[in-house]
Every structure is written in structure tokens, then in C-alpha cells.
Structure 1
Amino acid sequence: MTIHNQTQALISELGISESHFRAATGLSPQPINGDEKGFEKERFDAILSLFAMLETWFDSPKDAWEWYTEQPLIGFGNLTSSEVVIQNQDKGAFAVIEYIKSKNIGSFE
């Protein structure tokens, strides 16, 4: 499945618009066309990986999205995961992924 198809499937599961998804993940407001290159492709990959990891924590993708967009994280100065990603772009996405990995092995904030 292509990144475009994976992203569209996630957006559909979440029941949100593509523009809302792009805003909360720090992606450019351009519609997904399947030809993302460079940093956009890396960010899509990171966001899809992040949500694949979150799916193990929550009962539904919507619950994972709610956590991603609303739960303040002490270790990131009470920013939400979405805010960390938006403010720090790819580095932020990878930082949230590392945070999730550390939580999976029992680390504290």
C-alpha cells in the first residue's frame, strides 16, 4: 500500500478532513496526491509509524488521534504530540516516536 493510500485510510478511520490531518501533523496544506517527495515523504512515514505504534495503546484510531492532539506531555513542556511535531517538524515526529518507544518499555517522564 502506498503512503498516499495508507494516509487516506488513516484519515478515513479518524473521520477527519485531510486539511485537519495536515494541520495537526505539520504537513503543507497541499492535498495528498501520492507524489510526496523529500521531507513530506519522511514526515508521512514518521506520522504513519507513530500512529501504528499508538494503535497498540488505544481501542480505536480516534482515541489515538485524541491523545495525539489533546494530551499534554510533561516531558515536552506540556505540549501535545501534535504541537511537538508541528513545532519541530521531522525531529518532532521522531522525538514523539522515541517517547512512545520509551513508554512501551516502562519509562517514566
Structure 2
Amino acid sequence: MFEIKSTPELGAEVLESWAEAFSTPVDQVAQYVGLPLNPSKSLDSKSLELTRTRLLDIHKLLFRVRPWFNSDQATWEWFIGESLVPFGGLTPSEVVKSHHDKGVEALNEWVNSRELGGFQ
């Protein structure tokens, strides 16, 4: 899977590496994970912590579902484009954008259910 630093100095560094890995502009990656469109300009500590936390949470989620797919790109495409019935047809990205940390928690609970043999 793509690499993410465990304690990045700036969230923007991680966004840039994700953008490069998925051939997607940085502002689009930020939008997909529910962050300000230009987090590198949000230098206050609260914004940096939100960025770090959100990216680490999304990375953990993507890492969990990565075995379901044949590539990192397919995993990312699931995150940004797969409609999930239990979430009213929202994509995982839309769940995160709509519900922030609670959305990440809900997606992880859904993954838990699937890993235990639950259905969509």
C-alpha cells in the first residue's frame, strides 16, 4: 500500500504523497477525505492535528479494506466511488465528509461486520 508517515510534520506532505500515488490533485484528495481544500495554508495547530488525525484514520480504513482489491488504485476508487447501501448510497468518502470522525467510525464498524461475515 502507499506509504504514509506515522507522524507527519505537516498534513500537506501526506496529501501530496497520496495525490502522487493516485494521480489526483492535492486539493481533490483533501476534498475526498473531508479536509480544507488547501490544508498547507491552515497552519494553526488545531487544523494540523485535524489533518494528521483524519489522514491517519483514512489510511487505517484503506489499509483494512486493501485485501478486498487488486491494487491500491482500486482501493482508492472504492473509497471515492463505491455506493454503499447501508449508508444510503453514499460513497465512503461522502460518509467521511458528511459525518467526519463519526463517519470514519461507522465505516470501520461496517468493515468489522463484513469481516465477520455480514452482508452489505
* Shorter-normalised TM range: 0.7 to 0.9
> Residue 82 of structure 1 aligns with which residue?
93
Unaligned runs of 5+ in 1: none
CA root-mean-square deviation: 2.2
TM-score (norm 2): 0.76
Partners of 1:97 and 1:27 in 2: CA distance:
19
**Equivalent AA in structure 2 for residue 83 of structure 1:** E
**Equivalent AA in structure 2 for residue 13 of structure 1:** A
Partners of 1:7 and 1:22 in 2: CA distance:
7
Higher RCO structure (Cα 8 Å, ≥6 apart)? 1
Residues 21 and 12 of structure 1: is their aligned pair in 2 closer, same or farther, counting only changes over 3 Å? same
Partners of 2:17 and 2:115 in 1: CA distance:
25
**Equivalent AA in structure 2 for residue 30 of structure 1:** N
Residues 30 and 6 of structure 1: is their aligned pair in 2 closer, same or farther, counting only changes over 3 Å? closer
Residues 10 and 96 of structure 1: is their aligned pair in 2 closer, same or farther, counting only changes over 3 Å? same
Deviation string 1:46-69 (CA, Å, 9 cap, x unpaired) is 111111112111111110111111
TM-score (norm 1): 0.83
1:106 maps to 2:117: yes
Larger Rg over CA atoms? 2
Deviation string 1:8-40 (CA, Å, 9 cap, x unpaired) is 433322121211111111111124589721x33
Q: State percent identity of aligned pairs.
A: 28
Contact 2:83–2:92 under 8 Å retained in 1:
yes
Partners of 1:8 and 1:55 in 2: CA distance:
20
Partners of 1:71 and 1:92 in 2: CA distance:
15
